[in-house]
Amino acid sequence: MNVTLYRSYAIPGHRLGAIITSPQLLIQINRTLDCLQICPARPAQRVVEWAIEGTRSWRDGVREELGNRQRAFRELLENVEGWEVETGAGYFAYVRSIVCSSGSCQKSVD
């Protein structure tokens, strides 16, 4: 199961931690970690099995709502001089500033 699928079904992911230790102990820890997670987490897998059909209408509604928001944002920005939407999805959009001076316009590089 990949991260995108977990996000699609709004299933919380597993969090990572950090450790500061000697190089010798780190080697031993890495050996142990190689044996710990060789397959997806079982609880999340069981939930996803149900969620594929059980949340279909909810996911369709979320997809439609996000699409509506993206379209509304693009339409609003079309009428704002000097800005354009480069790309976007779900909860974000990348916009570009168009610098105009002396009658000529060019896209900014940042």
Helix (H), strand (E) at residue 10: none
Q: pTM to 2 decimals?
A: 0.52
What does the pLDDT average to over 36-49? 70
Percentage with pLDDT > 70 across the chain: 68
Give me the phi and psi of 45, to 5 degrees please.
-60, -40
Q: Determine contact, residues 100/110, Cβ cutoff 8 Å.
A: no
Amino acid 20: pLDDT: 85
Distance, in Å, from the CA atom of 79 to the CA atom of 87, rounded to the nearest integer, reads 17
Amino acid 7: pLDDT: 58
pLDDT of 63-78, one tens digit each? 899 999 999 999 988 8
Q: Which is more confident, 96 or 100?
A: 96
